[in-house]
Amino acid sequence: MSRELRVLNTKPRQPKPEWLRIRLGDPTNQNNLLKLIQGLNLHTVCQEARCPNIFECWANRTATFMLGGDICTRHCGFCAVGKGAPGSLDVNEPRNVAAAVRHLNLAHTVITSVNRDDLPDGGAAHWAETIRQVRALNPECKIEVLIPDFNGDQDALNTVLDAKPDVLNHNTETIARLYRRVRPDADYQQSLTLITRASDRRDREKSVMLTKSGIMVGLGEEFDEVVELMKDLRAASCDIMTIGQYLQPHARRLPVERYVTPEEFDRWRDIGMAMGFKHVQSSPLTRSSYHAREQAE
């Protein structure tokens, strides 16, 4: 961990405002889903990223599956997922994800992954096989993928697009000015290029695939800087955008600089819709896959 991050984390945590209070639900469905996931040797981003909506989503028997294990090769300052050297890919994982989707009878499933910079294709072939397996076993289910940047490898992106996901999501996560602190192993323009390439191919092939991206706020950005990022995403022909409050997952991650008010989230939503986004999900508890099915309808 960098000295900069250690210094940043000396800032005491701010108390959460009332609008971030979460009501815990009945754990029965959550526990049943957890048993299924553990039995199939799967991981969910709901658990690994400590999502604040886990009780709401799991109560409705929905989850975001995470491919490639639970160790990431990158060192983002916001993320609770473990860092280090990952193990080998589980060759049964695509089939197990498909089985879980079928067991849960999902109409819309979201699949994401850790970064696997240790693999020549960043895990793209594993991604594509998972999409194919899920579709073969669940032909009526919409498939949304939240992919890494594959280090800008267009061939890797095309491998995923060849499998024809219904929604191609790649998060920009934050504004350009904060990338060095928040996403030290990533590049803002590279992320925009990925979305542009996906949108361009969609348009060339006249497919109905939607493109999507999301950010966290409360990391030190200004209101107008978020608006500028929204303009960049629309210039990349991004269809859907999510904006949510960053919540510090534990003491070794970046601190919350401020809690953004619900009124500001509403303003971003209205501005984004006026720009031409098909959908803008903007609220304190919004996360990439929160209400994902409604966003894609």
Cβ count near 186 (within 10 Å): 21
User: Can you list the domains of the chain with their CATH numbers?
Assistant: 3-10+25-295 (3.20.20.70)
pLDDT the model gives residue 56: 54
pLDDT digits (tens, 9 = 90+) for 238-288: 999 999 999 988 888 899 999 999 999 999 999 999 999 999 999 998 988
CA angle 283, 284, 285 (to 5 degrees): 95
pLDDT digits (tens, 9 = 90+) for 139-189: 999 999 999 999 999 999 999 999 999 999 999 999 999 999 999 999 999
How does DSSP classify residue 275? Answer: H
Q: Which of 204, 192, 177 is nearest to 241 (CA)?
A: 192
Q: Spell out the long-range contacts of 271-275 with Cβ–Cβ below 8 A and sequence spacing 24 or more.
A: 271/227, 271/230, 272/230, 272/241, 275/230, 275/231, 275/234
Q: What is the pTM of this model?
A: 0.85
pLDDT the model gives residue 43: 55
pLDDT the model gives residue 6: 42
Q: Tell me how far apart the alpha carbons of residues 57 and 63 are, in angstroms, rounded to a whole number.
A: 7
pLDDT digits (tens, 9 = 90+) for 124-143: 999 999 999 999 999 999 99
Tokens of 158: 């095309």
